[in-house]
Amino acid sequence: MCDEFASPRLWRELRERALPVDRYGAWSARHALTPMQDWLTLEAALHIVATRAPRLLLVHFLALDAFEHEHGIASPEARWALAHVDMLLGRLVDGIDRARGLDATTFMVFGDHGFVDVDDAHYPNQVLHAEGLVDLDARGKVVGRRAWVATNGVAAHVYVLDGAPRTALARLRERFASLPGVSVIESSGFNALGLPAAGEDATQGDLVLIAAPGVRFRGQATAEAAERAPLYRATHGHHPDAPELGAALVMAGPSIREGVVVDDVSMLDVAPTAAASRRRASGCRRAGPARGDARELVLLCY
């Protein structure tokens, strides 16, 4: 994937520096290897700041997310990952300092979700099998489906497919609502979640399921397949209003007022704030949000 989407010139430069960029994909196969991916990411970022003058550099470190999934949010492993990512950030700050100094750089450190420990799971595709909407062969392989549930952990989309009975949607709404800790959101509620209406986008399900904190969905259609799949001890993907899903936002730089603590900031304000802080830093007087809540920008910037 990186070979396909990365800039070929950058990829060639990283290879010339003997960085094993070809291993990045293989290292994504196991959470325990994510610190190696993060090392490559950091080396690539350091190379970019040393050889170019990027106006915007986005760096995504994976280890904390991976280790929280694997070991739980308050685990010693997650704490190690936090300290490790902090060290990587320190090296990035040092690299930027060497390349261009810190006076012209705004740093924003943020996550895009919080985390919740999970100790219970639902298997919605096993429910569909019990309802006669998913067919399995003798070895448990899915060979036919008139409905399917795709999940990212704590939210799931229910798709009613061709060949399902006309009553399937109503039946599944009732069936999934009876699962403990599960909320069922119908198409009338999609817009409030920022989702397209059913039918407006092929990827949008007919129902959305959201599990309460502590509960997750797993996609396997048989108990045997679920047994073989890795089991997360913590995850994310809940309703965005769940307080546990809040993430951190720390900013520092020439256009950021020091010592200011703000209340909750919407995720939609992060990018406009970055744009505004850059315009401020470059002396432009017309700073303002492209999208998002302008009030937060007033608090965050001069």
What is the C-alpha separation between 243 and 178, in angstroms, rounded?
A: 24
What is the nearest approach in angstroms of Zn ion to the Cβ of residue 52?
30
What is the nearest approach in angstroms of Zn ion to the Cβ of residue 182?
21
What pairs with residue 276 in β-bridges?
none
What is the C-alpha separation between 264 and 109, in angstroms, rounded?
A: 15
The size of the chain, in residues, is 302
Indicate the residue among 111 and 253 with the shorter CB distance to Zn ion. 111
**Whose CA is closest to 129, among 53, 42, 226?**
226
What is the nearest approach in angstroms of Zn ion to the Cβ of residue 232?
8
Cα four-point dihedral sign 94, 97, 100, 105:
positive
Q: Whose CB is nearest to Zn ion?
A: 65
The two three-digit tokens of residue 1, written as one number: 């994937």
Helices (H), the chain: 2-5, 8-16, 24-27, 34-51, 63-71, 76-100, 124-130, 168-177, 223-228, 270-281, 294-300
Indicate the residue among 42 and 66 with the shorter CB distance to Zn ion. 66
What is the nearest approach in angstroms of Zn ion to the Cβ of residue 237?
8
Indicate the residue among 112 and 174 with the shorter CB distance to Zn ion. 112
What is the nearest approach in angstroms of Zn ion to the Cβ of residue 224?
25
Indicate the residue among 38 and 65 with the shorter CB distance to Zn ion. 65
What is the C-alpha separation between 296 and 277, in angstroms, rounded?
A: 12
User: In which residue are the tokens 């991916």 written?
Assistant: 37
Indicate the residue among 31 and 175 with the shorter CB distance to Zn ion. 31
Structural contact between residues 247 and 269, judged by C-beta atoms closer than 8 angstroms: no
**Contact positions vs Zn ion (CB under 5 A):** 65
Indicate the residue among 65 and 70 with the shorter CB distance to Zn ion. 65
What is the nearest approach in angstroms of Zn ion to the Cβ of residue 200?
27
What is the C-alpha separation between 194 and 57, in angstroms, rounded?
A: 27
